[in-house]
Structures are given as C-alpha cells and as structure tokens.
C-alpha cells in the first residue's frame, strides 16, 4: 500500500498552527473590546490547539494508505473516524490533479477522482509528489477507459 508524501505532514501542521493563530486572534479581539481574558490563557490555548493539530496531522499521515487494486482504487485514512473507500474503475468519471497555492509552495499535489455517486462524489488523495500525482492520474484514466461501460450511471 502506498503512503502520502512526508511533506504533507508539514502542510497539515502549518494549517493547525494557522487555525490556532486565528483563534488566538479572535480571543485577543474579544479581550480588547469585550471582556478581559488573561493573555496567558490565550497563549496556553494557542499552544494546546497547535499541539493537538500537530498530533492529529502526524496520526493522519500515518493512517493514510492507498492502493491500485485489480478492480478498484482503495483508500484508507482517518484518525477519529477511519474511512475505507473503494472506487471501482468502472465508476470513475474523470480524474484531476489539483495544486492549490499552498500545496504548490509545499511542492505537493492532489489527485481527485470523480464518480457519479452522491455521497462519495469526489475522492481526494492529497499530499502527493507532483510526478506521482500525474502518474496516478494517468494510471487511473487508463484503468477507467479499459473498464468502459456504456452507462456509468
């Protein structure tokens, strides 16, 4: 089973730090305009959120697995709720590689697989090396075409 690129952990930790900072900022604003909250409390809160986020990022990275099996793409991921998804090739409508601005700075890319499903309509594999992402997308497209059926719905 393949794993994601290690660098995605950094990306996720960065996101956690960002969220912590935003929350701290909100708390500071409240402190300035509404009721005085102890600065140490805010700082402590920032540390806790950032730490939790970092731990979550690490655990999430370790939980991520995907594999190209004979009939489907299989994914496993999740910390609190573990989700295993099988995307049969006959159901793949199209695939995208996506690189958001933040992902680009980290040198990573995502592959998004679209199906006709209503709940699992887009399946996303984040944090891949861009070359691997392109390869994966091509692989999936070939597998989807091979298993082409007249009506994917």
Partner 1 sequence: MKRLHPLSAVRQAVGGVIQGGFLGFFAGVFLRGVLEGPALPFQLLLAPLGAALGAGYAVAEYYRFTYELRDGTLAVASGVFDRQDREIPVGRIQNVDLERGVVHRALGLAVVRFETAGGSATEAVLDAVALDEARDLQETVAAQRRAERDREATGASEGAATGASERAATDVSEEDATDAGESGIATGTREDDAADDGADAGPGGARGATAPSSTDRIELYELSRRDLVVLGLASFRPGAPVLTVLGLPFLGDLAWGAVAAGSRLLGGPAVGSIAEVVALPPERFALVAGVALVEFAVATLLLSAVVTMVAYYDFRLYRVGDDLRYERGLLSRYSGSIPLGKVQTVTVRENALLRRWGYAALAVETAGYGPGSDDASNTAIPLDDLETVVEYAEALGDVEYPTVERPPSRARRRYAVRFALVPVALAGALLAVHRFWIAFPWWYVALAGLVLAPVAGHLRWRNRGHALVDGAFLARSGFWVRHTRVVPYFRVQTVVDERTVFQRYRDLASVTADTASTASVVGGDATAYDVDESTAREIHRTLRDRLAADVRRLRAREGGWQPRPLPGEATSESEGEDEDGNESEDGDDDPGSADGDDPTADG
Considering only 1, 26, 116, 145, the residue that binds partner 1 (CB under 8 A) is: 116
Give me the least distance between CB of 150 and partner 1, in Å please.
7
Considering only 72, 125, 136, 144, the residue that binds partner 1 (CB under 8 A) is: 72
Comparing CB distances to partner 1, the nearer of 17 and 37 is 37
71 counts as binding partner 1 under rule CB under 8 A = yes
Inter-residue long-range contacts of 97-104, CB under 8 Å, 24+ positions, other chains counted: 97/130, 97/133, 97/134, 97/137, 99/130, 102/11, 102/14, 103/11, 103/127
123 counts as binding partner 1 under rule CB under 8 A = yes
d(CA 58, CA 71): 30
For the segment 81-100, give every residue that binds partner 1 (CB under 8 A): 81-88, 90-91
Token pair in block for residue 26:
């909100």
Q: Is residue 12 within 8 Å of residue 60, measured between CB atoms?
A: yes
Stretch that binds partner 1, among 16-24, 41-49, 80-88, 136-144 (CB under 8 A): 80-88
Quickly tell me which residue has 């980290």 as its tokens: 106
Whole-number Cα distances in Å, 121 to 78, 85, 92, 95: 18, 12, 10, 12
Stretch that binds partner 1, among 3-11, 38-46, 127-135, 144-152 (CB under 8 A): 144-152
CA quadruple 148, 90, 66, 124: dihedral positive or negative? positive
32 counts as binding partner 1 under rule CB under 8 A = no
Comparing CB distances to partner 1, the nearer of 73 and 108 is 73
Contacts with partner 1, residue ranges (CB under 8 A): 71-72, 80-88, 90-91, 115-120, 123, 147, 149-150, 153
């Amino acid at each position: 089973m393949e794993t994601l690129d290690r660098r995605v952990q950094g990306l996720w930790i960065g996101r956690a730090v960002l969220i912590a900072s935003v929350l701290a900022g909100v708390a500071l604003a409240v402190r300035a305009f509404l009721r005085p909250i102890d600065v140490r409390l805010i700082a402590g809160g920032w540390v806790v959120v950032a730490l939790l986020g970092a731990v979550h990022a690490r655990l999430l990275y370790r939980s991520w697995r995907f594999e190209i099996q004979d009939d489907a793409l299989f994914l496993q991921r999740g910390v609190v709720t573990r989700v295993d998804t099988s995307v049969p090739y006959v159901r793949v409508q199209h695939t995208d590689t996506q690189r958001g601005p933040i992902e680009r700075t980290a040198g990573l890319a995502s592959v998004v697989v679209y199906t006709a499903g209503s709940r699992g309509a887009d399946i996303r594999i984040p944090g891949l090396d861009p070359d691997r992402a392109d390869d994966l997308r091509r692989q999936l497209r070939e597998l989807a075409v091979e298993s082409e059926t007249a009506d994917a719905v």
